[in-house]
Structure 1
Amino acid sequence: MRDMHKNADVIKSAKKKRRMSPDALWAFILLIPLFVGIGLVYYSALFGFTMSFTSWDIVRKAEWIGISNYRTLIEDDLVWKAMSNTLIFLVITIPAKIILGFLLAVLLNQKLRGIQFFRLTYFFPTACSVVAIALVWGYMYGADGFLNQMLQGLGLSKVYWMDENHAMSSIAIMTLWVGMGYIALLFLAGLQNVPTDYYEASRVDGASKFQQMWKITIPLVTPTTFFILVTQIITAFQMFGEVYLLSGPANSTLTIVQYIFKEAFQGFRMGYASALSYILIVVILIVTVVQLKVQKRWVHYDL
């Protein structure tokens, strides 16, 4: 009998252990929205991939057409135009952002009175709305806007900033102004994490400021540079708001994401837009993987 009671007690204690504690239950309940959100993301990705093999205009039932959308986009001149504009924008802005952002970070890293005010001032455009920034710069780029008034005041002729020849460069200048403060903030964090021992040892060896910058500072901020490079390339591929609000004539500023938007929500070619989206995903994935492979050659975490 005693053995039977012992076995019953063991079974009861095992059942109690298998029961979820109140803390674990609340943790599970609070994680439900996260699980639902992740599930919706994966469902949307799968749904979009399936739609890329169909012809669907939202109203009528989707028609399976196989890889026709992918064949069409290879022959679509606007796809290549949008991709070339995106790459041009990427080549113009990213090197300029990294170089100017680093130099600005070096200036903002000085121990001066009121330096926090300047750090906030340069970061402020990043926190502003894209719509507000585009409206202000659109006025500045106008035929009688601030920039042309300034040029005429210097005795120079007007520049049509948003014509077919200058529109992409004008938008690149605007995005450079907007994003440089954010880049500088990241570099500033990287500069402040560089150990001061290296600088003290280099001063003992008689190194100049330039040698300290070239041999110590720049190599030790390469992890920050790598992070900025990866994220900014992805951001450049996804650029939409700036070119949507300040678009140039004759598709001169058409980017791949803007073209996807036009096909999906203006042309209602959802299947074709889905195919374009997945081509963009593949391009971003390839570029990111290549960067991850190459970064071992130039990113230094220690001297």
Structure 2
Amino acid sequence: MRKSKLTRKQKEHIAAYLFILPSFLGIAVFYIVPYIICFTKSLYVGDTFVGIENYIQLFQNNTFLLALKNTGIFTVTAIPLLMVISFLIALFLNSFNKISSFFRSALLIPVVVPIASLICVWQLVFDDYGAINGLLNSLGFNTVEFFNSEWSMVMIVFIYVWKYCGFCVILFTAGIANVSQSLYESARLDGAKAHQLVTKITIPMIAPTTFFVFLMELIYSFKIFREVFALFGDYPNTNVYFLQNFINNNYYNLNYPRLSAASIVLSLFIIIVLFIFFCFERKHSYS
């Protein structure tokens, strides 16, 4: 009885699966399995199965609700602000090709500078006796306590936008450069204005780029915990107490059920936001 030989397409599929197998194993070991363990721990207190009791107690915890509120405020404020500013800068640089490469390189500097160095700079800038308050005092304004007032959220948003603006500009510039010039030429012949070229052609055509930028910035927004922790320590003021602070503090307190439940809630929050934006991108994309 003759053995059946694999077709060329089947061999290519097997080779492809073998190439992605190491990556899949890494994802399974370091992401999927820990997530399952985390979800399982969120349903127990010690060795006792309590179901969703940990989640109920979590949403009755005022500290968690405060962290959830602050995280939501930061996300819906910082990410759109960053994307709008980056897009406008990318549009500007796209009009000046000769100088755009220099400015793109300059805008990337905050991304590559170590966090510790940046924190020293921001402490000098936002301190009660720092550069900004020195300028305000010279103009006759009172000192602003950036580290102990509602201005602390503004400071964190500013740091986030400043740090990742250059990265977003690079992505938006690449997306705009890939838009066919024939579309702009046809629109100009039809009498389209500059703002109409942007709203009717540029923005819809770079929808995949916009989605990717949003995805990356959502991930980076949760990394802002490093700056918050370095500036404020374990327990920042109530205006910048984020979910990551809550999770970190419960880790130090060895409260693993609450830690696990909060981690699951945080991951679901990210998934829901991504799903909403993904549906929006699919609906408005021309590609």
Regarding TM over 0.5, the answer is yes
Q: Does 1:45 align with 2:30?
A: no
Q: Which residue of 2 aligns with 1:297?
A: 283
Q: Which residue of 2 aligns with 1:59?
A: none
Which of 261, 269, 274 aligns to 2:248? It is 261
Q: Which residue of 1 aligns with 2:138?
A: 153
- Whole-angstrom distance in 2 between the partners of 1:211 and 1:291: 23
Q: Which residue of 1 aligns with 2:264?
A: 278
How far did 1:44 drift? 1.2
How far did 1:254 drift? 0.9
Q: Which residue of 1 aligns with 2:184?
A: 199
The one-letter amino acid of 1:124's match is I
Superposition pairs of residues 6-25 of structure 1, within 5 angstroms: none
How far did 1:48 drift? 1.2
Q: Does 1:54 align with 2:44?
A: yes
Q: Which moved more, 1:177-186 or 1:202-211?
A: 202-211
- Whole-angstrom distance in 2 between the partners of 1:234 and 1:16: 46
Which of 165, 180, 196 aligns to 1:180? It is 165
CA 1:273–1:221: 2 relative to 1, 3 Å: same
Identical-pair percentage: 29
The structure having more radius of gyration, on CA atoms, is: 1
Superposed CA RMSD in Å reads 2.8
- Whole-angstrom distance in 1 between the partners of 2:188 and 2:20: 53
Contact 2:148 2:237 in 1 (8 A): no
- Whole-angstrom distance in 1 between the partners of 2:42 and 2:147: 34
How far did 1:160 drift? 1.3
- Report Cα offsets for 1:132-155 as digits up to 9, x if no partner: 322211221101111112223333
Normalised to the residue count of structure 1, the TM-score between the two structures is 0.81
- Whole-angstrom distance in 2 between the partners of 1:210 and 1:68: 53
Contact 1:226 1:299 in 2 (8 A): no
Gapped regions of structure 2 (runs ≥ 5): none
Q: How many residues align?
A: 277
CA 1:33–1:222: 2 relative to 1, 3 Å: closer
The one-letter amino acid of 2:242's match is T
- Report Cα offsets for 1:233-288 as digits up to 9, x if no partner: 34435642122122375432111122111101x21111210111111122222222
Q: What secondary structure does 1:113 align onto?
A: helix
